[in-house]
Amino acid sequence: MKSLLIALLLAGPAAGQGPRNLGTPEEIVPPLIVPSGTVIPVNLMSALSTRNAKEGDGVYARTIFPVTVDNQIVIPVDSYVRGRVVSAERAGRISGTAALTLSFHTLVLPSGITLPIYGSLGGIGGTTGERRGEATVEGDTSRGADAATVATSAGTGAGIGAIGRRSVGGAAAGAGIGAAVGLGQVLLTRGDDLVLNPGTTIEIVLDEPLEP
């Protein structure tokens, strides 16, 4: 009997059966997900201007502040963001303002991992423009400058008319001529282009969750 027991112990586990794992199973760690609504601040790496930008042009930016989830960095500083120009609108000669519509679609982490992103445009820093809608930056209106041009021309014309005719009527006629000249200048001149210089800070707001 004793010899049989020793033989069974030396034979090991029965065929087809593996060793039993008596330890506790490894804890499953859920992936860190960057929730929608998270703001990713970036700096532009190259200039954008309504003077020469066109649909499809590339937009390149770099993150300037780490994004964390549960006290862990998920989007480090110096991650790269790629996008494109959706549209570029120059200011009109009579009314309207310059505007750039941008779309950001790819995030490249320092590790080389590339992820698609879906986001809207948040705040814009270092520019006189402001956000319009979810993806457009709009420049300042030129209406104030246009009015000043007409008013200055009218005043100059009124002075010349008064000197020439020494009368109220002469001043009025001169003002009318001056206003017409000023209006002509406005009609021939476009409003200011919108320029976003390198280093301009843009906030990208995630519309959908991101899993790095």
List pLDDT tens digits, range 134-167.
778 887 654 444 444 444 444 444 444 444 555 5
How large a percentage of the chain has pLDDT more than 90?
A: 44
pTM flag (> 0.85): no
Could you tell me the residue ranges of all domains in the chain? 39-141+192-206, 143-188
Contact between residue 57 and residue 85 where contact means Cβ atoms under 8 Å apart: yes
Q: How far apart are CA 167 and CA 163, in angstroms?
A: 8
Work out the average pLDDT over 25-49: 86
Q: Is the pLDDT of residue 94 over 70?
A: no
Per DSSP, 204 falls in state E
CB atoms near residue 84 (< 10 Å): 15
- The upper half-sphere exposure of residue 129, i.e. CA atoms within 13 Å in the direction of its Cβ, equals 29
Contact between residue 34 and residue 74 where contact means Cβ atoms under 8 Å apart: yes
CB atoms near residue 151 (< 10 Å): 14
Q: Is the pLDDT of residue 51 over 60?
A: yes
Which CATH superfamily hosts domain 39-141+192-206?
A: Type IV secretion system, VirB10/TraB/TrbI (2.40.128.260)
CA 206, 97, 59, 75 torsion-angle sign: negative
Higher pLDDT, residue 91 or 58: 58
